[in-house]
Every structure is written in C-alpha cells, then in structure tokens.
Amino acid sequence: MTHHESIQTREITAMGIRTRVLESGPASDEAVVFIHGGPGSADDWDYFLPRVAEFSRAVAFDLVGFGQADKPPRLGYSGPVWATFVQNVLNELGIRRVHVVANDLGGEAAMYWAAAHPDAFASATLINTGTLIRYRWHAIAQLSRLPVIGTLSVLLGGALMRPALRLYDPPLPGGVLDRWRREYDWSSRRAIRRFYRSGPFRTTSLVVDAVRRLDRPALVVWGARNRFVPVRHADDQRRSFPRAEIVVLPDEGHYVHLRTPEVVAERLLPFLHGQLGVAPIAAAPVA
C-alpha cells in the first residue's frame, strides 16, 4: 500500500515480536496512538495520520496477530495480551503520554492498557468500541466458537469476509475490502478465533471502575447501524468516561472510520486539538 508522503514506515521488535509502525508528525514523547481492530491493520488509519501530524506525533502499528506483525500460533490473543504488547511498542518508540484512538478489538487492547498505565493515559477516542458491559458476541463470533464451524471459519475466512460484512455493516470501499482480504491470512483468522474463544463475553467490563477513577476526557463515535456492537453500548461508555462526548451517526456502522473517514475527522481533530492544547491549524487539505 502506498502511504501519504508524510508517513514513515519502519519495523520494530517488541516483546520479541516484530511489527510494522506507521508514523508521522513532530518528534515527541506525547503522541496520538491509533489501535486498529479486526480484521484490519495499521493501514486502517492511513487517512488520519497525516492530518493529526499537522499538530501532533501520530503513530499506528500492527497488533500482534494482524497485518504484517508476527502471528505466534500459541499466543493467548486477548485484551490483556494486546495491552501488554501495546505498552512494549510504546516503550520502543519512547512514547510516555498517549491519546489513544481505537476501533473494534483495538478498544479491548486500549482499555486494558489504560487501566494498567494511568500515568501515560491522557484521553480516548472510541469508535464503536470501549468498555462493553453485558456484551455477548455477535453471530459471526459465536459461530467461530463452535468446534467444527469454527475450524471452517479459519480455513474459509477470507472467502467469507465480503458476504459476512455485507450482512453486518453498510458497504465499505472496495479498496479496504481488497486489502483486508490480502491481510486476513490463515494466521490472522486463527488469532481472532482464539480471541473469540477466550470467553463467552467481551471482558472489558472488568476494567470499568479502574478507568472511571481516572476520569479521562473521551470522544465516543458510534454508528447507529452497527450490528457487530449495537449502539446501546455507546451510552455505556459514560460508566468509564463520565465526561464523554458521545456522537451517534445515523447512517453508519462498525467501520465508520473506513467508510466515511472525513465524517470521523470532523469530530476527532477538534477533540484532539483540545486535548493537546493546540489551536486548530489552517492548512491546505491533505491530498
């Protein structure tokens, strides 16, 4: 994939695991850190990195198990494991203060990380994710948990991706789906199946109180047509972020940041300006 000219790509090793980092903006130990969900990669944030880089260091990386990161077969893929990986990546990059932006299972990583690293956690932007209370897996995840069907999902997951997403979300750009199809290999499908099999529920409800005590600023963006994580969970985020700004987009779904990134940017960029204490910069639009 060709990135905007301002985005630098490099490979690092964290926790003994190789991963790819996309980075833009000025050198700083404070950064906006983007954490993707499944079945994506750091490339999911390609639209946002150069725009945030106009006023902050901006970083995205492939979570272990996805994209171009290593995908160890016996790793227990879960929120706490991904949170540990996130912190090790931050250590390697010299980042000590974080404004996290997350989607999907990236929110699982982000919330466990935030609870464990309160001194580094500055703010959160949660796109159809966060601390999920009384959340049962969506149908695709539930099927993946079954013995025979789950094995078939690993074998056939690439071929099944497009029809499954058509059932669950408003249409995504063809380029995104093509990239996901390439990235979502057998090892990534195995990783997400292990995540689904880690328990009958998403477990971020365990860290609700720990995150709430921090009372960090948050922007919550949710698609009203999200069938993966229904919109009723948007208001749940106030349990962890009492001051959260909640934006519900009536025509969008789970992957709104990929379907209409400009709509998300209209909310995200002013929020981050406020958190970083910088005035909005009048600049030519990023190509």
DSSP per-residue string spanning 202-213:
--GGGGHHHHHH
Amino acid at 163: P
Task: Give the three-state DSSP class for 54.
Answer: coil
So what's the pLDDT on residue 143?
A: 59
Which of 3-12, 127-136, 151-160 is least confident?
151-160
10 Å CB burial of residue 20 (0-12, 13-18, 19+) is middle
d(CA 178, CA 84): 30
d(CA 202, CA 206): 9
So what's the pLDDT on residue 74?
A: 87
User: Burial letters for 151-162: b for 16+ Cβ neighbours within 10 Å, e otherwise?
Assistant: eebbeebbeebb
Give domain status of residue 87, yes or no.
yes
Give domain status of residue 264, yes or no.
yes
pTM of structure: 0.91
Which of 18-22, 57-61, 168-172, 235-239 is least confident?
168-172
So what's the pLDDT on residue 161?
A: 62
So what's the pLDDT on residue 148?
A: 43
Strands 17-24 and 8-14: antiparallel
Amino acid at 266: E
d(CA 75, CA 69): 13
Which of 144-158, 182-196, 212-226 is least confident?
144-158
pLDDT digits (tens, 9 = 90+) for 1-41: 778 889 999 999 999 999 999 999 999 999 999 999 999 99
So what's the pLDDT on residue 190?
A: 85
Q: In the structure, what pLDDT confidence band is assigned to residue 162 with cuts at 50, 70 and 90? A: low
Q: In the structure, what pLDDT confidence band is assigned to residue 75 with cuts at 50, 70 and 90? A: very high
Give domain status of residue 32, yes or no.
yes
- How far, in whole angstroms, is CA 128 from its chain's centroid? 9
Cβ–Cβ under 8 Å, residues 228 and 128: yes
- Could you tell me the end-to-end alpha-carbon distance of the chain, in angstroms, rounded to an integer? 16
Question: Which secondary-structure segment (H or E) carries 123?
Answer: strand 121-127
So what's the pLDDT on residue 149?
A: 53
Give domain status of residue 218, yes or no.
yes
Take residue 258 and report the two structure tokens written for it. Answer: 């990929």
d(CA 113, CA 107): 9
Q: In the structure, what pLDDT confidence band is assigned to residue 279 with cuts at 50, 70 and 90? A: confident
CATH number of 131's domain:
3.40.50.1820
Mean pLDDT of 181-192: 88
Give domain status of residue 180, yes or no.
no
User: Could you give the number of structural domains in the chain?
Assistant: 1
So what's the pLDDT on residue 136?
A: 74
The domain in which residue 96 lies consists of 8-135+201-276
Mean pLDDT of 139-159: 52
So what's the pLDDT on residue 153?
A: 54
pLDDT digits (tens, 9 = 90+) for 221-276: 999 999 889 999 999 999 999 999 999 999 999 999 999 999 999 999 999 999 99
Give domain status of residue 286, yes or no.
no
Amino acid at 236: D
Give domain status of residue 183, yes or no.
no
